């Protein structure tokens, strides 16, 4: 059996290897913390060390951190995956069977805003499918509250907006 922190790192690597889209820290935490494998702080330490070692990459988008397995991370997992028990692997695979669509949707709809060089705020909205941008919109607005509201509404109404735009253009 691997040392506990090493095991948590291997679980994170294994989870990232089982999907073809980024996972958020929260999604990984949902699995690991619900099963009480470890606590929140230890999980954050494991993820931080994986990032520092270049085994995963992290990208912050608004209030979420998206994690992706690197080539080095994949190679490391190949060497040490036998240190993860078959039971844990089965639990992870079952977790993805039950939650993959919702998890994919959560990381496929991106919305963020920032202050532009002109002083306006820009809401950047993206819908992806399998890593390909289906739509990528940037909207300039005069204030931060409106920009944040646009991002929140994109999360709720992206399908309707996308369908409307496609119907109007085709």
10 and 92 in a common domain? yes
Residue 73 structural domain:
4-106
123 and 157 in a common domain? yes
91 and 140 in a common domain? no
pLDDT at position 131, please?
73
74 and 145 in a common domain? no
Report which of 170, 113, 159, 121 is spatially closest to residue 143, judged by C-alpha positions: 121
118 and 148 in a common domain? yes
Listing DSSP states for 45-114 in one string gives: HHHHHHHHTTSEEEEEETTEEEEEE-HHHHHHHHHHGGGS-HHHHHHHHHHHHHHHHHHHHHHHEEEEEE
Mean pLDDT of 138-147: 95
21 and 83 in a common domain? yes
pLDDT at position 100, please?
84
pLDDT at position 2, please?
53
18 and 70 in a common domain? yes
43 and 18 in a common domain? yes
129 and 55 in a common domain? no
Q: For 52-72, what is each residue's pLDDT tens digit?
A: 999 999 988 767 899 999 999
93 and 137 in a common domain? no
82 and 114 in a common domain? no
Q: For 83-105, what is each residue's pLDDT tens digit?
A: 999 999 999 999 999 988 788 87
How many structural domains compose the chain?
Answer: 2
Query: Of 58, 91, 106, which closes a domain?
Result: 106
pLDDT at position 1, please?
44
Mean pLDDT of 127-148: 90
Q: For 9-59, what is each residue's pLDDT tens digit?
A: 999 999 999 998 889 999 999 999 999 999 999 999 999 999 999 999 998
Report which of 84, 10, 18, 79 is spatially closest to residue 47, judged by C-alpha positions: 10
126 and 147 in a common domain? yes
Query: Of 76, 91, 106, which closes a domain?
Result: 106
At 80, which CATH number? 1.10.10.10
Query: Of 75, 106, 137, which closes a domain?
Result: 106
Q: For 107-137, what is each residue's pLDDT tens digit?
A: 788 888 999 999 999 999 999 877 788 999 9
């Amino acid at each position: 059996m691997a040392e506990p922190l090493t095991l948590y790192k291997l679980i994170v690597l294994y989870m990232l290897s089982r999907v073809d889209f980024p996972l958020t820290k929260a999604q990984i935490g949902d699995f690991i913390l619900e099963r009480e494998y470890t606590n929140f702080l230890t999980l954050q330490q494991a993820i931080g060390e994986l990032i520092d070692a270049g085994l995963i990459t992290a990208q912050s988008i608004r209030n979420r951190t998206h994690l992706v397995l690197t080539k080095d991370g994949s190679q490391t997992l190949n060497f040490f995956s036998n240190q993860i028990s078959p039971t844990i692997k089965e639990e992870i695979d079952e977790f993805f069977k039950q939650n993959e669509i919702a998890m994919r949707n959560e990381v496929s709809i991106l919305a963020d805003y920032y202050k532009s060089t002109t002083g306006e705020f820009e809401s950047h909205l993206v819908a992806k499918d399998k890593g390909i941008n289906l739509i990528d919109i940037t909207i300039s607005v005069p204030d931060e509250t409106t920009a944040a509201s646009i991002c929140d509404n994109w999360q709720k109404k992206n399908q309707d907006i996308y369908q409307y735009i496609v119907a109007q253009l085709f």
